[in-house]
Amino acid sequence: MPFPNIDPIAFAIGPLVVRWYALAYLIGVLGGAAYATTLLRRHGLWKDNRPPFEPSAIWDFAFWAVVGIIIGGRIGYVLFYNFGYYAANPGEIIALWDGGMSFHGGLVGIMLAMALFVRSKGGNILSGMDLLGAIGTIGLFLGRVANFINAELYGAPTTLPWAVVFPTDPEQLPRHPSQLYEALLEGALLFIVIRIATNQLGALKRPGLVAGIFGIGYALSRIFVEFFRLPDAQLGYLYGGWLTMGMLLSLPILIAGIGLIVYAMRPARG
């Protein structure tokens, strides 16, 4: 398949250029906050009818979410994906406009922001993490679609009928559209699973359960797609022609997800 002719720049107003990738971040945060409001308003979904904070506070948290994602995502990329370059060029660390963000770092950043925010509101921190798990798939879906539009993070060569020839590929080979694989698995499918868990199965009544489902779902999806996605050029494969940094960083998320589910499902005392 030829790559669809989509300009990475969504629109420009004079010297101001707005890219689809930036819009994905913005819409992901705003859309996530809007969806979070619907969950927070339904007190009956939460343990003891008590959400981690009141619905109106989500817009205050949205600001801290953006800060956490950007700082965490950038630090994660610097440390795990291109440390040698940034150690030699520390001034480039703040050059966010040149790209370079790590989902795993962004996840740590937004989790820290949520923990501090919920604590300041006197709520249950695990319930706050559940809220992140319920809304995080929205940003994941949009972000991976934006990666596809940017023709970046594409996959290995393949002869499958839905293979795409990306304009940024110097070899111009048909490749797995691995960005869309991630959008469908980490974004759409995981959203549906968590939506059923929260709205039909009462998962929010067990703090930590939804966060655990998200952790396991994301980690397994990411590890699976990494078998089809090319590793970052500056890193390559870490071992045996198959192990990637994305797989390695997803393992702690998988383990944490399992731990959260075990904790959430423990028998009630008394």
Annotated binding site: 144
60 CB-contact burial (10 Å; exposed 0-12 / middle 13-18 / buried 19+): middle
Residue 231 phi, psi (nearest 5): -70, 160
| DSSP line for 61-96 | HHHHHHHHHHHHHHHHHHHHTSHHHHHH-GGGGG-G
Residue 29, number of CB atoms within 10 A of its CB? 21
CB 198 within 8 Å of CB 39: yes
Place of tokens 């963000």: 101
Strand runs labelled E in 184-248: none
Query: Cβ contacts of residue 12 below 8 Å, gap of 6+?
Result: 18
247 CB-contact burial (10 Å; exposed 0-12 / middle 13-18 / buried 19+): buried
* Nearest partner of 215 among 186, 184, 181, judged by Cα: 186
Cα distance from N-terminal residue to C-terminal residue, the chain: 61
